[in-house]
Chain A
Amino acid sequence: MKKIEAIIKPFKLDEVKSALQELGISGMTVVEVKGFGRQKGHTEIYRGAEYMVEFVPKIKIEAAVPADSVAAVVERILTAARTGKIGDGKIFVYDVEEVVRIRTGERGREAL
């Protein structure tokens, strides 16, 4: 099992979610986050004074998937979340040791 962590632009959430649902993914967790990458934030103006927004709002999607579907999931996120402009985000893939469904006690792939 693998965990996919994708940091995307907030307005891309719906598209990414639909794309992953079409792929048959069984669940995901979404977190509102702030951060910077190469984009290095942006400036805003408030009542005449410019200020730096160093941490730009993003959405982080977390989903655990079977190891054999990782390639397809990453591909789907790439197409759905890409605008081609700076600030599109990143995808991280981790190994997952164990998954447990709390209600039934099922473990491993059964629990996904």
Chain B
Amino acid sequence: MTRSTIGKWPLILVFLATLFLSGAAAVGSAEEAPAPAVQKAASAPAFTQEMADAIANQKIAMDTVWVMVTAFLVFFMNLGFGLVESGFCRAKNCVNILFKNFVVFAVSSLAFLALGFGLMFGDGTAFFGLKGLFFATGADNSPAMGDAYQGVYSALNWTGVPLWAKFFFQLVFAGTAATIVSGAVAERIKFQAFVIFTFFMVGIVYPIGGHLIWGGGWLASKGFLDFAGSTVVHSIGGWAALAGIIMLGPRIGKYGPGGKVNAFPGHSMTSAAIGVFVLWFGWFGFNPGSTMAADWASIAHVATTTNTAAAAATLSSMITAWVLLGKPDLGMALNGCLAGLVAITAPCAFVSVPSSLLIGLIAGILVVLAVFFFDRIRIDDPVGATAVHLANGVFGTIALGLFADPAVCPAAAAAKKGLFLGGGMGQLGPQLLGVALVGAAVFALSLAFWFVTKILCNGIRVSEEEEMEGLDYHEHGNAAYPNFQLIEKR
């Protein structure tokens, strides 16, 4: 596995540090110690198996706590997505979009438990797992690592945490990929169709894409790297969303004759802004947590590259929108921040902090242009999910091949030098291959499953009457703000 070197350093350092401290406490330092003390030390008990076990247990405990706490942070990102997406939608569809964001994690949890985890991480072919497929019940002796590991989820044997910590951490990532889709297809998809597609997405599409990379599959064997999921989570979510948008078509009245793009302003910029703050916070679990070990140097490095890219992208998107539109546009800056976070997700552990600043700057410009581009080709995405997660997921994955530097932190050792550091195509080649393969495979699979969903639900789009009057009333018999009179032109 590509990240197999990450886990070893802390163990060695903790071991050495503890050895030194316990040794010092027992015998004093060699320089100060008088001769009798040295003699005494010689007769003291040697470093025993019990002591080694105790140190190893501390290491496992710290790694597990880190993995679980960061997984809880990633779970919290569901709230962020719920707020961003509901804020960017109209009030008449607010219950519907909140409900989708709420139910998506419940569906993801069951789908990933039942099949997704086994398909993604079980030993098997280069394209999907075959062993321990259902309910993550395959043989496993975690937290044993590396060669000591005996089980069917050997793609995850580089981290020394219990199986359920691995499962839970990977589950919250799968949930994130699924929730990306909900915003892109908002305001016109049948609720039932979204729930059914999410089962396919988290049970089959995401695990197959993920197996190629994190499951020890074909792309992993080609040297493709994706530290925390620019491709695995964000562009897979983005490709599935794009397929959904194409199957659905734009909202009624979004595009007029002569290339006219009509704005459907979201109903709460307050929600949207809080949501992005929550996501920014959650990303400190998403990226630094992907060390899956309390590897201090890598965690600190990844947290800093992550935040630097987000900050740079926020400012560059703000300035780009300011120049192109005449005013700083909050919606664009919010998308810009997320774009920087998505772009740095793959390279966060493999690039230097100054490189992360450049990656963020480019991501912020790219997202604004992508929003215009998708509107130009009439891909109606109410929340900008494709511009954020697809365009920048792809960009971040390629950026890894441009800026990678194996010396920046312990976790970076798996990378080859990027193009801009004189590494030629060594790392960039596999990255481009991965972008193309994942794009083709996930887009095709998603289209197929959207088609199956369409047959199962007798169409995936609500009626014209329902779209105009709002999905809240027709799908749920409900209103988000019953004490207010809503006058929405569209």
User: Does A pair with B?
Assistant: yes
Binding site for B on A (CB under 8 A): 34, 44-51
**Interchain CA distance A29-B145 in the complex, whole Å:** 75
Which residues of the other chain, A, contact B487 by a CB distance below 8 angstroms?
A: 34
A81 to B: closest C-beta gap in Å: 24
With a CB–CB cut-off of 8 A, which chain A residues contact B372?
48
Q: Is B469 an interface residue, CB under 8 A from the partner?
A: no
Stretch in B126-134, B259-267, B391-399, B411-419 with 4+ CB within 8 Å of A: B259-267
A51 vs B331: C-alpha distance when bound (angstroms): 15
Q: Contact at A48–B265, with CB atoms within 8 Å?
A: no
Can you list, as one digit per residue, whether each of B323-338 has a CB less than 8 Å from chain A (1) or not (0)? 0111101011001000
Within the complex, the shortest CB–CB distance from B49 to chain A, in Å, comes to: 62
Cα of A20 to Cα of B73 in the assembled complex, Å: 56
Give 1 or 0 for each of B250-268: 1 = CB within 8 Å of chain A CB: 0000000000011111100
> Taking beta carbons and an 8 Å cutoff, which residues of B are in contact with A?
88, 261-266, 321, 324-327, 329, 331-332, 335, 368, 371-372, 375, 384, 487
Given contacts A45-B263, A49-B261, 18 further A-B contacts (CB under 8 A): A44-B263, A44-B265, A45-B326, A46-B265, A46-B329, A47-B263, A47-B331, A47-B335, A47-B371, A48-B324, A48-B325, A48-B332, A48-B368, A48-B371, A48-B372, A49-B263, A49-B375, A51-B265
**How many Å from the CB of B487 to the closest CB on chain A?**
8
Does more than half of chain A's interface fall in helix, strand or loop, or is it mixed? strand
Cα A23 to Cα B329 with chains together (Å): 44
27 contacts between A and B (CB under 8 A): A34-B487, A44-B263, A44-B265, A45-B263, A45-B326, A46-B263, A46-B264, A46-B265, A46-B266, A46-B329, A46-B331, A47-B263, A47-B329, A47-B332, A48-B321, A48-B324, A48-B325, A48-B368, A48-B371, A48-B372, A48-B375, A49-B261, A49-B262, A50-B263, A51-B262, A51-B263, A51-B265
Min CB–CB distance B321 → chain A (angstroms): 7
Which A residues are CB-close (under 8 A) to B371? Answer: 47-48
Q: Whole-angstrom distance between the alpha carbons of A48 and B324 in the complex?
A: 9
Using A51-B262, A51-B265 as known contacts, say yes or no to A45 and B327 having CB atoms under 8 A apart: yes
Q: Across the interface, do A45 and B329 meet the contact criterion of CB distance under 8 Å? A: yes
Residues in A neighbouring B324, C-beta threshold 8 A: 48
**CB contact between A45 and one of B262, B325, B368, B375 (< 8 Å): that residue:** B325
Query: How far is it, in angstroms, between the C-alpha of A46 and the C-alpha of B268 when the chains are bound?
Result: 12
B276 to chain A, nearest CB (A): 13
In the bound complex, residues from chain A placing their C-beta under 8 Å from that of B88 are: 47
Residues of A within 8 A of B375 (CB): 48-49
A-B pairs, top 3 by smallest CB distance, nearest first, are A49-B263, A51-B263, A46-B263
**Looking at B263, B329, B331, which has the most chain A CB atoms within 10 Å of its CB?**
B263
A52 to chain B, nearest CB (A): 9
| Complex-state Cα separation, A51 to B329, whole angstroms | 14
Give the chain A neighbours of B265 by CB distance below 8 A: 44, 46, 51
| Cα separation A46 to B487 with both chains bound (whole Å) | 18
Interchain CA distance A31-B329 in the complex, whole Å: 31
B263: which A residues are within 8 A, CB to CB?
44-47, 49-51
- With both beta carbons as reference points, the residue of chain B lying nearest to A50 in the complex is identified as B263
Q: Tell me the bound Cα distance from A66 to B325 in angstroms.
A: 52
Q: Which residue of A lies closest to B372 (CB)?
A: A48
Residues of B within 8 A of A50 (CB): 263
Q: Measured between C-beta atoms, what is the minimum distance from B329 to chain A in Å?
A: 6
A95 to nearest B CB, angstroms?
Answer: 31
Q: Find chain B residues with CB under 8 A from A45 CB.
A: 263, 325-327, 329
Give CA–CA (A34, B266) in the complex, Å. Answer: 19
Q: How far does the Cβ of B337 sit from chain A's closest Cβ, in whole Å?
A: 14
A14: min CB distance to chain B, Å: 23
Query: With A and B bound together, what is the CA distance between A34 and B488 in angstroms?
Result: 12
Rounded to whole Å, the gap between the CB of A54 and the closest CB of chain B is: 8
Smallest Cβ-Cβ distance to B334: which chain A residue: A47
* Bound Cα distance A47, B326 (Å): 12
The CA-CA distance from A34 to B489 in the complex, in Å, is: 13
Give the residues in chain B near A48, CB-CB below 8 Å.
321, 324-325, 329, 332, 368, 371-372, 375
CB distance from B462 to the nearest CB of A (A): 23
Q: A46 to B266, alpha carbons, bound, how many Å?
A: 8
Contacts of B335 in A (CB 8 A): 47
Chain A: minimal CB distance from B391 (Å): 14
The residue in chain A whose Cβ has the minimal distance to the Cβ of B368 is A48
Chain B hits for A46, CB < 8 A: 263-266, 329, 331
Distance, CA A87 to CA B204, complexed state (A): 58
Once the chains are docked, how many angstroms separate the CA of A44 from the CA of B371? 17
In the complex, residue of chain A having the shortest beta-carbon distance to the beta carbon of B335: A47
The interface centre, meaning the residue of A34, A46, A50 with most chain B CB atoms within 10 A of its CB, is A46
Measured CB to CB, the closest approach of chain A to B332, in angstroms, equals: 6
The interface residues of chain A lying within 8 Å CB-to-CB of B261 are 49
A50 to B327, CA, bound (A): 11
- List chain A residues, Cβ under 8 A from B327: 45
Q: In the complex, what residue of chain B is closest to A51 when comparing beta carbons?
A: B263
User: Chain A residues near B264 (CB, 8 Å)?
Assistant: 46
CA distance A19 to B85 in the complex (A): 45
CA distance A46 to B375 in the complex (A): 13
Q: With the chains together, A90 CA to B78 CA distance in Å?
A: 49
- A44 neighbours in B (Cβ, 8 Å): 263, 265
Q: Which of A45, A46, A47 has the most CB atoms of chain B within a 10 A radius of its CB? A: A47
Assembly CA distance A44 to B264 (angstroms): 11
Question: Once bound together, how far apart are the Cα atoms of A59 and B266, in whole Å?
Answer: 24
CB neighbours of A47 from chain B (8 A): 88, 263, 329, 331-332, 335, 371, 384
